Structure formats: structure tokens, C-alpha cells
A and B are shown apart, each in its own frame.
Chain A
Amino acid sequence: MHLAYPAVLAVLLFCTGLYGVLARRNAILVLMSVELMLNAVNLNLVAFDVWLRDTLHAGQALTLFTITVAAAEIGIGLAIVLLVYRNRGSSDIDRLRDLAERPDGADAEATNRQPDTEAEATA
């Protein structure tokens, strides 16, 4: 099989994932997009491993690592999303802006007011 097929497929998958990370609002969908990007990389690793006829199969070994890391990452990520949802009643990424800089001079007051706004949001 020609190397172009898996490579093009990987590019498509990565771009889809990238678009999802940058554009989706729902945190779960963002996590899924991250998975897509990781798997595009995995596909590349396997494809190039075969094409280069590597005797040690380093690409395939690395793929196994990536899958493991991805599984751990998605586990923690989903737990965070779950907690954020419980606290905020929403998991929209573009509404989680607590770390935004306020305009001049409002810094101190903003950090002081933070607990209040959170409390209101939970209520």
C-alpha cells in the first residue's frame, strides 16, 4: 500500500481534531477532538514504522505508549469536566473565563469578588 493513503488520512483526522479543539464549545467534544488528533499521530507512527521497515518497531511501541497516555488523559479530563459541570451547571469552554484580565485597576477588586460571582453562578 502506498504511504500516501495513511498519511492523507492522518492529516484529515488531525485537521478535524484541530478544528474541534479550536471551535467546539462543549468540553467533552473538545476532549474527543484531542483524541482524534492523538490517533492521527498514532496512524502516522504505525504507517511510517512499516514503510521504514524498522527492525525494532519503535513506531509501534511508541503507539502503545500514546494509547496508554491518552487513556489516562481522557480519564482525568472527563473527571475534571464532570466536576466543572457540577459546580457551574455548564461545561461550555468559552464561558469558563475566570482567569481573564480585568481592565485597569480592577484587578484587586476582581480577585476579591471572585467567590461571590462563583456563588451566584452555582445558585
Chain B
Amino acid sequence: MTLTTTAVLVPLLPFLGAVAGLFLGRRAPGFVRPLAVLPTLAAAALTVVVAVGQGGGTATDVATRLTPTGSIPIDLALHVDGFAALMAVLVGVVATCVQLYSTAYLREDPRYASYAALVSLFTSAMLLVVYTGDLMVLLVGWEVMGICSYFLVGHYWETETARAASLKAFLVTKLGDVPFLFGIFALAADAGTFRITGILGSVANRGLDHPTLIALLLLAGVAGKSAQFPLHTWLPDAMAGPTPVSALIHAATMVAAGIYVVARLLPVFAASAAALIVMAVMAAITMVGSGLAALAQDDIKRVLAYSTVGQLGYMLGALAVGDRGAAVFHLLTHGAFKALLFLGAGVIIHAAGTNSLAAMSRMTGLARRIPDAYWTVTVALLALAAIPPFAGFFSKEAVLGAAEHAATGGAHGIPGAAGWTVLVSGLLTALLTAAYATRLWLLVFKGSGVEAPDHGRQPLVMNAVLWVLFVPTLALGLTAPFLPDWFDGRSLAPALTTSVLGTGIAVAGGLVTYAAWRHTTALAARTPIGAVIADPDAPPGLAEETAIATHAPVYGSVAAAPDPADPGRLLLGPLQPHAAVGFHLDAVYTALFVRPVRAAATLVRFLDREVVDTYVRGAGAAPRWLGAAVRRAQTGNVQTYLGALLAGSLVLAVAAVLIATGTGA
């Protein structure tokens, strides 16, 4: 098999698996699991084959034209370079892990068949986005992911939270997708082609006519998909979906698509200094804001969701300073350790029977119940906090190093302001990241109080997947010396200044949180907080669904809990209530969009009911009154009728005679 055939098969296999799974799901339940796991596994193996075949050499670029369009042609193009090959490996591995994990996690779920098919379809769309060399084809994958995300977030549609979250995810990402579509059209109109290689070629040769406009339009779509400020609000709410979905879609792949597209089209963005500044500011606001918000969340998955938003901010920051190697490197390591964190969170939620950190901090011995999750999640949190020698350290240092390089004016064509913005906010975020990672770890594993409920051993496959993802979390950073061959050739090795500074800040953040926790943990015993613990024998999916559905009624909010023993409360001080609700961005959206739309709907309802319907009712009433008048003539007396008939005939006869003789007219 040539490299091209293999690469074509990669998105095709999960797609066929999804189609087969959807059709056979009801009729042959025995085939659902193999159909879910095997095509994804095969695709993952093929991505490795493609990556080995590509080997960081020159990009493979082939295309076939289906039909002429009359203007700018649309090609089924394949573009496999180092970025695409490695991204595809990440997608394939994470998707396989998620499919395996789901077989145990949702083992008794009645909708498992459609769920698994949608995950396969999603994987296929993401792989299409990664491998395609044509923006229109990329858009197809992009939108398929959007709709799959909608269905999967709404998997527990019996709960109100999940329904609202799926709608919100869909609408907010669509809000970004519309400008994205216009951006693609504008870009293709300027460059004369939808092919990415063609676009990059024309950018390099003669530049674009409207670089800033195009970059900002594309950036809106990226902000929607990659959950960047101000369109990030859907991601924390999307945690109402099942945990494997959060791991696959909202950590490792879909949100990565936005970053990946910017990385592919980076010269287009780099053509406009204004766009780079906007990107840097957006990334900075996202990073710092999400770090503060993560510190105030009570739902373990919402903490991770905000941390995803923040890490994506790092990647966008790296792109804003023109280093796509660092961005994609962080994307790869983040994909590995964030998938591990989410899948570990699924195990923790099942074991604790609740998703509330406040409730977990009042349980003893949760770490003993789930030793596999304890060790892997601990290492993943260290990687998240960028502690050496774990994967996150190397990639985050690469980002900070690139920012420092740009800030000191070492990068050609990159505004120094963008470099400084990313560097300062990146260092501040390193502090916050370490703080919320430490808080999460302390609250989950170092709780004190009653013994944690015994749910027995976690399913073997779930633990096995955690250890599979543990390997890249531990060791992916060590590949830093080899990766530049696959990317642009710029060194990704950590620089001394930023490494010491970043690690020092992270350790400081961890220590401060630990001190705050020591200070507040005594309060925990005095303020008991109960939890709705799911039935110990319930399958993990059901336990999580119960936890999601009961969080708001029990603690008064989906995001926060009134827990005085929370170290985040002490650290954030007066900011805490605002951070818990994401700095009121949802309230702003409500005032800006929801209320005007509701008011407009009320107006339309009024116009329809009171104005249009009045005419309709009037049109009915007039004939009714006429009818009532005519009915009075129906007396029932035959002789009256005959008299009227005679009189009428006479009148007609006279009239006919007069007209015939011509005297009347």
C-alpha cells in the first residue's frame, strides 16, 4: 500500500464503522462493540504507518478533482506533512482509548450503539480535517464534528443540564463558524484556490489583498471551535456529556482542530500584525481568565474543562508569536495528558459517586480505592502543571521560549507586543495552573472524613486505558529533540531562563495552594457537605448522569458549591463568586443576545396573534353575519318562497324584454 492509500483509509475506516454501527446497532447488538473499537483501532495503526512512512520528510500532496465548479475548484486533496502525521497519530490513539474505555464506562447504556457510532463518525471527521489539503473538505469535517459534538454532549438528554449544554455548544460554535465560512471564501477569492498549498504559495509570492480581514474572520471560527475568549463559554457546560466524550472531543481532538487550522494556515495570519496582536490578547485573556475560573469550580470535570480552555490559550499564544512547532507540540502533549485526566476523572466520579470536589474532600481513602487512577492522574496533573520531567513541561517551555524569543525581538515579522503579552500571561497562567492542579489533587485524594463508598474494582479496560495514556504523559516530552525534524525545524528544547522561571512559578503556585489547603482543611469537618452518592452497583455512566443531574439542586449551581474549606475560596478572595460563574460572561450574553431574541419573539407572537389573526377572524365573521341575515328569509312557508320566485321571475322577464327591445338601456 502506498502512503496515499493508507492515508485515505484512515478517515474512511471509522466512517464505515460508524455507518455499519448505526445500521446494525438495533439488529445485531453483538457486533456493536467490535464495530466501535476495531475500525478505530485499525485507523490508529494506519496513522502510525503513515507517520513512519512520512518520517518528517517532504510533504505528500495529492489531489483529485471530482467535478468542475465553474469558478474556484474544489479538490479532494490530501496533504500529509509532519504536523498532519503526528496529529493523526494523537487522534487515532486517543479515539481508540476512548472507544475502549466507553465499552466499560457505558456498558449498560441503552443508547451505546448510536453513541459508539457517533464517536467513530467524529473520529473520522477529525482525521479528515487533519489529512485534508483543501479548505472546503476541511470545512466538511469541521461541521461534522460540530454536529457530532451536539449529539454526544446531549447523550444524557434526560437531564435538563445536558440538553441546555448541547444546544449551547452547537449555537456558540456556529456563531464562530459563520465568520469562518466567510473567511474561507474571502481567502479563496484572494488566493484563487481552496488548496492549502496553493494558498500558502500565493501568500508567500504576492501576499493577500485583505490579510487582516481574512485572519480575523478565520480567527472567529477558531475561537468558537477551540473555545477561546469570548466564545469559550460552551466548553465548561459541555461537561454535561459523558466523560469519554469530554476526553475525546473537549480535550484532545475537536477543540484542537481550531489550533491545528491556524497552524496549517499560519503564514496567512502572520501576514497581518494586527491579527497576531488580536490573537495574543485573546490567548492572554483566555489563559488568565480560565485559570482563575478553574480555581473556583466545584465540578471536577469543569475544572478540567477550564484547564483545557487555558491550555488551548497557550497554543494560540504560541501561534500568535509565530511558532507553530511549539503550538502543535503542546497540542500533542496536552492531548495525551488531558485525555488521561478526563478518563481518570471518569473513574474518580464512579468511585466517589459524585462529581463535586467539596463532597470528595470529605471522603477518606479515595486514593486507596482506585490506585491506578490515583497514580496516573497524579502524574497527569504534574504534567498539566508543567513540572519536569513530564510531557507538559517540555511543550509549555517551548511555548514560553517562543514567546520570549518574540518579545526580545528575535522573531522576524512578529510584533514584540504580542511576545510580551503571551510571555507575561503565560507565566501568570503557569502559576494559576499549578494552583488549580494542586487544589484538584488535594481535594480529591487527600480528603478527610467518612470512608469513601466501596464500588468494588473498576473495570479492567478502564484502568488499562489509563496506563496506555500514562506512557505519552510521562515520556512524550523526551521526544522534543527529534520533533523539529517533523515540524518547521525550529528547536523545541527548553531554554534555561524560561524553564527556571516557569518551573519556579509553578512550584510556588503549588506550595501556596498547599498552604491555603492546610489552613482551610480544618474547616471541612465543621461544615459537613453531603453528596448524592449513586447506588454502589450502578454502572459508571449512570453514576455520572446522576451526579450531573443532582449537582445544581444540591449545591445551588452547576459550577460552585458553598464550601468554606475550599482553598480556592481563600486564594481567590472576593473574586471567587465571579470566577465560579466564568466572570459573568453568560450573563452578558443573556443581556446581549438572549433577551433581545426573546423580546423579538414576543413581538412576533403579538403581531401574529393580535394583528394577523384579527384579519383572519374578520374574514370569517363577515360571511357569518351575511349568512345570519339570509337565514331570516328561510321561514319554512312554501308559499312565501313561491311568491319570491314569481316576483324574481317577473323582474327578470321584464328586464329581458326591456333589454331585448333596447328601450331600457
Contacts from A to B (Cβ < 8 Å): 18, 21-23, 93-94, 96-101, 104
Are A100 and B634 touching (Cβ within 8 A)?
yes
Contact for A94 among B631, B634, B639, B646, CB less than 8 A: B639
Are B638 and A93 touching (Cβ within 8 A)?
yes
Nearest-Cβ distance from residue A17 to partner chain B, whole angstroms: 12
The answer for the CA separation of A93 and B636 in the assembled complex, in Å, is 10
Are A98 and B628 touching (Cβ within 8 A)?
no
The answer for the CA separation of A97 and B634 in the assembled complex, in Å, is 10
Size bracket, chain B contacts: 10 to 19
Contact for A100 among B635, B643, B646, CB less than 8 A: B635
Contact with A along B610-648 (1 / 0, CB 8 A): 000000000000000000100110111111001100100
Are A93 and B634 touching (Cβ within 8 A)?
no
Contact for A21 among B628, B632, B634, B642, CB less than 8 A: B642
Nearest-Cβ distance from residue B641 to partner chain A, whole angstroms: 10
Query: At the interface, is chain B mostly helix, strand, loop or mixed?
Result: helix
Instruction: Return the chain B residue nearest A94 by Cβ.
Output: B637
Residue of B631, B634, B635, B638 contacting most chain A CB atoms (<10 Å): B638
Q: Which 3 A-B pairs have the closest CB atoms?
A: A100-B636, A97-B636, A101-B634
| 8 more A-B residue pairs beyond the given contacts A22-B639, A99-B634, with a C-beta to C-beta distance below 8 A | A94-B639, A97-B636, A98-B636, A100-B636, A100-B637, A101-B632, A101-B635, A104-B628
Chain B residues within 8 Å of A101, by CB: 631-632, 634-636
Knowing A93-B639, A94-B639, A104-B628, the reply to whether A22 touches B646 (Cβ < 8 A) is: yes
Chain B residues within 8 Å of A93, by CB: 637-639
Chain B residues within 8 Å of A18, by CB: 646
Nearest-Cβ distance from residue B627 to partner chain A, whole angstroms: 9
Nearest-Cβ distance from residue B254 to partner chain A, whole angstroms: 64
Nearest-Cβ distance from residue B297 to partner chain A, whole angstroms: 65
Contact with A along B530-544 (1 / 0, CB 8 A): 000000000000000
Nearest-Cβ distance from residue B386 to partner chain A, whole angstroms: 83
The answer for the CA separation of A19 and B638 in the assembled complex, in Å, is 14
Contact with A along B144-188 (1 / 0, CB 8 A): 000000000000000000000000000000000000000000000
Contact for B642 among A22, A96, A98, A100, CB less than 8 A: A22
The answer for the CA separation of A36 and B573 in the assembled complex, in Å, is 114
Nearest-Cβ distance from residue B104 to partner chain A, whole angstroms: 67
7 pairs of residues in contact across A and B, judged by CB atoms under 8 Å: A22-B646, A94-B639, A99-B634, A100-B634, A101-B631, A101-B636, A104-B628
Chain A residues within 8 Å of B632, by CB: 101
Contact with A along B340-354 (1 / 0, CB 8 A): 000000000000000
Instruction: Return the chain A residue nearest B628 by Cβ.
Output: A104
The answer for the CA separation of A22 and B642 in the assembled complex, in Å, is 7
Chain A residues within 8 Å of B628, by CB: 104
Question: Which chain B residues in 307-344 approach chain A with CB under 8 Å?
Answer: none
Chain A residues within 8 Å of B637, by CB: 93-94, 97, 100
The answer for the CA separation of A104 and B634 in the assembled complex, in Å, is 13
The answer for the CA separation of A21 and B645 in the assembled complex, in Å, is 13
Chain B residues within 8 Å of A104, by CB: 628
